[in-house]
Chains A and B, each alone.
Chain A
Amino acid sequence: MPAKIDARGLSCPQPVLMVMTKIKELGSGEIEVLVDNDVSRENVRRAAEKQGWTVAELKREAEEYRLLLRH
């Protein structure tokens, strides 16, 4: 099961901060991130890729995005 981060309703830097904290904590594995705007989606993707993670999956559900980060 991937670690989960619910960043809906939060604006940057919170979503990125939450993801970076989790990335440092896990080192590798999977993280599922929920965001509800395009800016957070772009920022989370950019931050994860900078750490060597990839967006393995991205789902759009109504007004939200679910990103699966993998390393």
Chain B
Amino acid sequence: MSIPHWGSDVDSRGCEKLERRYRKNHIDESVKPIYSPASSQTLGRGHLREGGLETKKNFFAGTAGIVLAGSVIGVVAALLQKLGNPGNMGICVACFERDVAGGLGLHRADLVQNLRPEILGFVLGAFVAALSFGEFKPRSGSAPMARFLLGMCAMIGALVFLGCPWRTLLRLAGGDGNALFGLLGLVAGVGIGTIFFRGGYNLGRTSRQNMGLGLLMPLVVVGLLVLRLAYPPIPNEPKSGILFYSLKGPGSQYAPLLISSIAGFAVGMVAQRSRFCTMGALRDLILFRHWHLFLGFSALLILAWLTDIVLGQFHPGFANQPVAHTESFWNFAGMLVAGLAFALAGGCPGRQLFMSGEGDGDAAIFVFGMIAGAAVAHNFGLASSPAGIGPNGVAAVGATLAVCLYIGFTNLRRSEK
């Protein structure tokens, strides 16, 4: 009977303990004689044996887990709309980061200013989950400037469409037909990204950082939470202390603070454990024909749609949809740019927030790029409105597409293909 061996660099007492447990759980001594280690075996009590090493079982990494994660996000988003968040925008990562930029006064578009607690909850939920399960790993150093610019491009593209990949699904779930063009653009953008991946594209390796650096993003978010608590919205006042709050428009629509915070925190935890990523769903499907993440993507859409029907929030059509315009080509083109930028940066805006909570400084840089992109988009007339694309929206799509392609072509590292 052969037992899977561990290298001499592994603690020998640990080996003996694992071997004893292995024999107890898995070896039927009456069966001879070849042991062929299964790739993964459940041991019970939340543990998994992979290739001989016992690891903590992560329920959310399985099929049921990713479906549950997508379902939770879909239901929570639709419920948050019922509780006050804007229409078809229960949780839009791009829109809410844009609102955060406005809340901090980085742009002065008075319809979209609100330091959204959901965004803060995402980072802190992911942080607590990562810390609890030993997955908090401070790291950074992979092309930060490129990631910042990709974040800007992603946000500008998303604001031409008026939504991130999450909102694309939420808009579809609410019956907004214009989002079909956004979805097609997202698929096209991610598809272009996969061509770069096949050509050897990557932004280089990260390196480990110390705990202090890894804690920077969670600490920044705690600081923002303190600001939000210290300066809550005041009825009929556009400013509370140093924070800006919309009095009308999407920024003025929000669910109660406690509910939004808990919802954001819960989504952050679930998404960190499940690795939920809307861009990754499309990328893995196109690149590898892997359906795993796409199951979560689909679950979000279906559960949000069902919840919208139950709550009376499903209104199919193209005209007069909430916070949306009907310029189909620009809906497509905006999300093409966003999809490409998300692909090249390795995650949708939600995933970038969750990774930033896990100690990934590069993801945090991308998040700040998105916030800067929101400020630029509104200060320079790049963002769309329900009336149509912004005065400089066409130029914005062209420029951001050029930036993405430049970063893509200049980072083809065939040696690591």
Question: Closest CB-CB distance, A13 to chain B, in whole Å?
Answer: 6
A45 to B57, CA, bound (A): 14
Q: With A45-B39, A50-B290 in contact, is A11–B346 under 8 Å at CB? A: yes
B10 contacts chain A at the CB level, 8 A cutoff = yes
Contacts of B198 in A (CB 8 A): 17
A63 to B30, CA, bound (A): 38
Q: Are A14 and B416 in contact (CB under 8 A)?
A: yes
Contacts of B6 in A (CB 8 A): 59
A16 contacts chain B at the CB level, 8 A cutoff = yes
Inter-chain contact total with CB atoms closer than 8 Å = 98
Contacts of A61 in B (CB 8 A): 7, 9-10
Contacts of B292 in A (CB 8 A): 46
Q: Are B40 and A17 in contact (CB under 8 A)?
A: no
Q: Are A55 and B416 in contact (CB under 8 A)?
A: no
B42 contacts chain A at the CB level, 8 A cutoff = no
Q: How many residues of B contact A (CB 8 A)?
A: 40
Q: Are A8 and B205 in contact (CB under 8 A)?
A: yes
A14 to B200, CA, bound (A): 9
Interface string of B258-295 (1 = CB under 8 A from A): 00000000000000000100001001100110101000
A31 contacts chain B at the CB level, 8 A cutoff = no
Question: Contacting B10 at CB < 8 Å: which of A55, A56, A59?
Answer: A59
Interface of A is mostly: mixed
Question: Closest CB-CB distance, A69 to chain B, in whole Å?
Answer: 9
Q: Are A59 and B290 in contact (CB under 8 A)?
A: no
Interface string of B400-415 (1 = CB under 8 A from A): 0000000000000000
A11 to B208, CA, bound (A): 13
Q: How many residues of A contact B (CB 8 A)?
A: 37
B109 contacts chain A at the CB level, 8 A cutoff = no
A54 to B137, CA, bound (A): 27
Question: Closest CB-CB distance, A25 to chain B, in whole Å?
Answer: 11
Contacts of A60 in B (CB 8 A): 10, 53, 55
Q: With A20-B288, A55-B40 in contact, is A63–B416 under 8 Å at CB? A: no
CB contact list, B271-325 vs A, under 8 A: 275, 280, 283-284, 287-288, 290, 292
Q: Are A67 and B51 in contact (CB under 8 A)?
A: yes
Q: With A37-B137, A58-B50, A61-B10 in contact, is A16–B288 under 8 Å at CB? A: yes
Q: Are A13 and B284 in contact (CB under 8 A)?
A: yes
CB contact list, A1-57 vs B, under 8 A: 8-14, 16-18, 20-21, 36-39, 41-42, 45-50, 53-57
Contacts of B288 in A (CB 8 A): 13, 16, 20, 47, 50
Contacts of B398 in A (CB 8 A): none
A14 to B5, CA, bound (A): 28
Contacts of B287 in A (CB 8 A): 13, 17
Question: Contacting A57 at CB < 8 Å: which of B38, B52, B55, B197?
Answer: B52
B417 contacts chain A at the CB level, 8 A cutoff = yes
Question: Contacting A54 at CB < 8 Å: which of B37, B208, B280, B417?
Answer: B37
B206 contacts chain A at the CB level, 8 A cutoff = yes
Q: Are B417 and A42 in contact (CB under 8 A)?
A: no
Question: Closest CB-CB distance, A40 to chain B, in whole Å?
Answer: 10
A47 to B38, CA, bound (A): 15
Contacts of B9 in A (CB 8 A): 59, 61
Q: Are B5 and A10 in contact (CB under 8 A)?
A: no
Identify the interface centre among B51, B205, B284: most chain A CB within 10 Å of its CB: B51
B392 contacts chain A at the CB level, 8 A cutoff = no
A48 to B205, CA, bound (A): 22
A54 to B51, CA, bound (A): 8
The residues of B with any CB-CB pair to A shorter than 8 Å are 4-7, 9-10, 37-40, 50-53, 55, 58, 61, 135, 137, 139, 142, 197-198, 202, 204-208, 275, 280, 283-284, 287-288, 290, 292, 346, 416-417
The 8 A-B residue pairs with the shortest CB-CB distance in the complex, in nearest-first order: A9-B205, A58-B51, A55-B51, A54-B39, A58-B53, A55-B39, A57-B51, A58-B50
Instruction: Please name 8 pairs of A and B residues whose Cβ atoms are closer than 8 Å in the assembled complex, sorted by A.
Output: A9-B205, A13-B197, A13-B280, A13-B288, A14-B416, A45-B50, A56-B39, A59-B9
